[in-house]
Structures are given as C-alpha cells and as structure tokens.
Amino acid sequence: MAPYQVSLDWIDRQQKAMVNQVEAWSRVNSGSHNLPGLADMGAKVTEAFSALDGDFESIALPPSSHVTPSGDLEPLPLGPVYRFQKRPDAKRRVLLTGHLDTVFAKDSPFQAPRWLDDTILNGPGVADMKGGLIVMLYALLAVERSGLADDLGWEVLISSDEEIGSIGSAAILTERAPHAHIGLTYEPALADGTLAGPRKGSGNFSIVVRGRAAHAGRAFHEAGMPLWPWPR
C-alpha cells in the first residue's frame, strides 16, 4: 500500500461531513459587499480551521474606493483576510489560498443550495469556492494526522474580496508568496479534472466624463463639447 493511501481512504470517509458543511456554508450570503455576511462566514471558517491547531490572525484591510453611478468617488469597505499557519520554519512550506466571498449580493434571488440530482449540489459558492475551502481544510486535516506533518509547514490565506479583483488582499498575497515553495489556490477544476496553472490578469477601469447632455444624433452641437475626440 502506498504510504499516502491511508490518508486518501480517510478523506473518502469524510465525504458526507464535507458535503454537509458545504451545504451549510452555501446558505450564508457572503457577497463581496455584504460585510455582515462576510463576518458570519469568516466566523464559520475560523471555527472549522481551528481544528488544525495552528496560529490564526485576522488582517483588517483599509477601505478601497469606487465610482458611483453619479460619477462620485466613494470609499468601499472590505472584509478582512483570514490567515492560518503552522510550522512556518519547516524545510518545506506551502501556501494555500482561497476566498469566502461570492458574486451573489445580499438581494440576489440565488440564496440557497438545492440538489439537482443525487450527485449534483447547486448553490451560491458551492464550487467557487466554499467547496474549495472544505477540500483545503480536509486535505490539511489529513496531513496533520499523517506521518508527514512534522516536515511540512503551511500557511492559509482566505480573502474576502477575490470576486471584486482582490483589490485589498492582493498586496498580502504578493508579500507572502515568496515564503513558500509551492502555492495552491482551491478554485474548482474543470469538468474533466484539469487544473489551471498560470492565469492571465484583468483590469477594471472607471471613467467619469462630465458635460452638458444633448441628443447624440440630432442635437449634439447643442452640448458644445462633443465626446468623439476624447478617446483620441
């Protein structure tokens, strides 16, 4: 028997508990802008990860900013980053990352999980990525009960702003990454099990233009300040 088969068999036996936990977490609305929901979800994640008996830290993030529909710049409060770590001085160290926010706002009609059939659970954050957090947790639990634990140091960073571009947590992720030999993010794999490696980036831009309104087709000259030269 392979030395790690005992751990894999143990994980298989935890499937029911893992699914039940994902289903319960999916019922908590943790949209990126729902701070009370994020706090609720953060408390549940902290309680679950406390079983690993590692060090815990909640890292508050300064507010970001966003442009309102009226073109005004307003502060945007963010949820914290939750950090768990154990054996930071080990020769081999891994960084595991995830997020507890979802794209579903507090007023979204999609609020509760449901079973589509005997094997498919559909719900907010089930795949992206409350399910990933459960997989991460039980993988670490398996490591901690194995004979490999003493040789492996691990750090977990769980952010609250990933779905809005990690606008506050990116700096922390960047700072911690060089301290690990391997980094894994527990987003879902593709349907065939393929894992993503390097990913392209993205950018979000807000442009505010102020002026007099006028009909764009017939009376644009009344505005006295056409927009068409502006993009040049």
Q: Are 101 and 160 in contact (CB under 8 A)?
A: yes
Domain count for the chain: 1
Task: Place 4 in a pLDDT band, splitting at 50, 70 and 90.
Answer: confident
Asked if residue 214 is part of any domain, the answer here is no
Return the CATH number at 182: 3.40.630.10
Asked if residue 156 is part of any domain, the answer here is yes
Asked if residue 181 is part of any domain, the answer here is yes
Using the CB atoms, write b or e for 59-96: b if 16+ within 10 Å.
eebeeeeeeeeeeeeeebebbbbbbbbbbeeeeebbbb
Asked if residue 223 is part of any domain, the answer here is no
Task: Place 229 in a pLDDT band, splitting at 50, 70 and 90.
Answer: low
Task: Place 227 in a pLDDT band, splitting at 50, 70 and 90.
Answer: low
The yes-or-no verdict on residue 217 having pLDDT over 80 is no
pLDDT mean across residues, the chain: 91
Task: Place 131 in a pLDDT band, splitting at 50, 70 and 90.
Answer: very high
Q: Are 7 and 145 in contact (CB under 8 A)?
A: yes
Q: How far apart are alpha carbons 18 and 10 in whole angstroms?
A: 12
* H or E stretch at 74: strand 73-76
Q: How far apart are alpha carbons 7 and 227 in whole angstroms?
A: 63
What pLDDT, on a 0 to 100 scale, did the predictor assign at position 195? Answer: 83
Range of the domain at 158: 5-200
Task: Place 207 in a pLDDT band, splitting at 50, 70 and 90.
Answer: confident
Percentage of residues of the chain with pLDDT beyond 70? 94
Q: What is the pLDDT of residues 154-185, one digit of tens each?
A: 999 999 999 999 999 999 999 999 999 999 99
What pLDDT, on a 0 to 100 scale, did the predictor assign at position 151? Answer: 94
What pLDDT, on a 0 to 100 scale, did the predictor assign at position 204? Answer: 80
Asked if residue 217 is part of any domain, the answer here is no
Asked if residue 221 is part of any domain, the answer here is no
Asked if residue 208 is part of any domain, the answer here is no
The yes-or-no verdict on residue 1 having pLDDT over 70 is no
The yes-or-no verdict on residue 137 having pLDDT over 60 is yes
Distance (Å) of CA 199 to CA 195, 196, 202: 11, 7, 10
Q: What is the pLDDT of residues 59-118, one digit of tens each?
A: 999 999 989 888 899 999 999 999 999 999 999 999 999 999 999 999 999 999 999 999
Helix %, strand %, coil % for the chain, to 5? 35, 20, 45
